[in-house]
Amino acid sequence: MYESFYKLSAKPFQLSPDPKFFFGSQGHKRAMSYLRYGLTQGEGFIVITGGVGTGKTTLVRTLFDELNKENIIAAQLVTTHLEADDTLRMVAASFGLAHEGASKASVLKNLETFLTARAREGKRVLLVVDEAQNLPLESLEELRMMSNFQAGGRSLLQSFLLGQDEFRDTIQFDGLEQLRQRIIAAYHLEPLGAEETQAYIEHRLQLVGWDNNPEISTAAHQAIFEATGGVPRRINTFCDRLLLFGYLEELTALDEGHVNEVANELKQEAPAVTHTTVEEQLPELPELPSTPIHVGLEQSRESEQLEDVEARVGIMEERIDILERALRRFLESGRR
């Protein structure tokens, strides 16, 4: 809608992760270096943690874009609260393997056969587990056991574990010592600072042909940072709304006052908190599809499936974000 008004070639602040918009902040560059190092090892676990919307999935998507897709098969598992056997079956389903009605031993055998065959073809198999903080300890141990698949002294499966802040505490549990020993690289993503927030916004705008129209003042950038806390997904949501506001008002310059107007509008749209229950205060949230997605990188149609997975991740993280904000408001109202 606002793209033509501002003569932009595309929407600069879409929510779905897109490697072409990757912004190399200091933290994201360092995280990428850890990921690249981990990949050179070809085994074990690589752990990336960070708050909702800090760019974990985009980071991995960007890394995969650098890889030789003809030699990589990747599956992405978006977890909820899967028990150990369900986790094993979901991993098998993500790689397109038979699992329904099969015994655990059969599923494991299918996985081992699949991984061995890919290794003989000279291909690497990667498993990306998103929302890893939701996995019970037994499921994490099941993933650790799958890392034991080897052939000729070479590990057949490497896993990326992407989780929110609390996952850092989870992996410190006493029962996960063997898992910790398999972690070869780990990094925690923090929100962007004020200067990086401005650079992030301008980076995304420039990629779609922005020619300083609308002009965004320094004070406006600071106000955007304060409104979003430097969290990339929040910045995207806010700036998309800000540009829509500018289009509707036919503005060619955006200042602090305009940012504050948008911030107030968004606050008014947030679910109101009363002294009832948290559940009664939450908006109806969209259901997530339960069908597992196969995300092998060899086939062209699978890039579309990966985008579907990312959309599901976005919905899930937004749901969690809404719940967290509502709970904080509920607790704060109870103290008054």
Instruction: Give me the half-sphere count of Cα atoms (radius 13 Å) on the Cβ side of residue 80.
Output: 11
pLDDT of residue 41: 86
pLDDT at 287: 42
Residue range 36-81, pLDDT digits in tens: 888 888 889 999 999 999 999 888 888 888 876 668 888 888 766 7
Residues 210-229 have a mean pLDDT of 96
Kindly tell me if the per-residue pLDDT of 147 is higher than 70. Answer: yes
Residue 299 banded pLDDT, cuts 50, 70, 90: very low
Higher pLDDT, 329 or 56: 56
**Structure-token pair, residue 327:** 């709970």
| pLDDT grade for 328, boundaries at 50, 70 and 90 | low
d(CA 153, CA 140): 23
232: cis peptide before it, omega within 30°?
Answer: no
Mean pLDDT (whole number) for 261-272 = 83
Do 288 and 240 form a contact (C-beta atoms < 8 A)?
no
| DSSP string computed for 173-210 | SGGGHHHHHHEEEEEEE----HHHHHHHHHHHHHTTT-
Residue type, 13: F
Q: What is the mean pLDDT of residues 260-266?
A: 93
How many CB atoms neighbour CB 41 within 10 A? 12
In this predicted structure, what is the pLDDT of residue 87?
Answer: 87
pLDDT confidence band for 233 (50 / 70 / 90): very high
> Token digits for 78?
């978006």
Q: Which of 82, 74, 40 has the alpha carbon at shortest distance from 57? A: 74
Matching residue, tokens 């998507």: 61
Q: What is the mean pLDDT of residues 296-300?
A: 41
Q: Measured in Å, how far apart are the chain's first and last C-alpha atoms? A: 43
pLDDT of residue 284: 43
CA distance 291 to 264: 38
Task: Answer yes or no: are the C-beta atoms of 118 and 73 closer than 8 Å.
Answer: yes
Report the C-alpha gap between 40 and 116 in whole angstroms.
20
pLDDT at 151: 86
Please give the average per-residue pLDDT across 226-245, as a whole number.
95
Six token digits for residue 173: 């549990």
Whether 314 shows a pLDDT value over 50: the answer reads yes
pLDDT on residue 333: 57
Q: Nearest Cα to 334, choosing from 283, 281, 276?
A: 276
pTM across the whole model: 0.74
Beta-bridge partners for 253: 215
pLDDT of residue 197: 97
**Mean pLDDT of all residues in 290-317:** 49
66 within 8 A of 219, measured Cβ to Cβ: no
Asked whether residue 142 carries a pLDDT value surpassing 70, the answer given is: yes
Query: Looking at 110-114, 180-184, 298-302, which range is the least confident one?
Result: 298-302
71-85, 159-173, 191-205, 215-229: the lowest-pLDDT one: 71-85
Q: What is the mean pLDDT of residues 133-152?
A: 89
Given a cut of 90, whether residue 205 has pLDDT beyond it is yes
Q: Do residues 112 and 149 lie in contact, with contact meaning Cβ atoms separated by under 8 Å? A: yes
- Does an H or E element contain 305, and which? helix 301-335
Q: CA 306 to CA 325: how far, in whole Å?
A: 28
Task: Name, in order, each residue with C-beta under 8 angstroms of 276's C-beta and a sequence gap of 6 or more.
Answer: none
pLDDT digits (tens, 9 = 90+) for 154-173: 899 999 999 999 999 999 99
Mean pLDDT, rounded, of the chain: 83
pLDDT at 220 over 90: yes
The predicted pLDDT at position 283 comes to 42
Q: How far apart are CA 259 and CA 331, in angstroms?
A: 28
Q: Measure the CA–CA gap between 38 and 140, rounded to whole angstroms.
A: 19
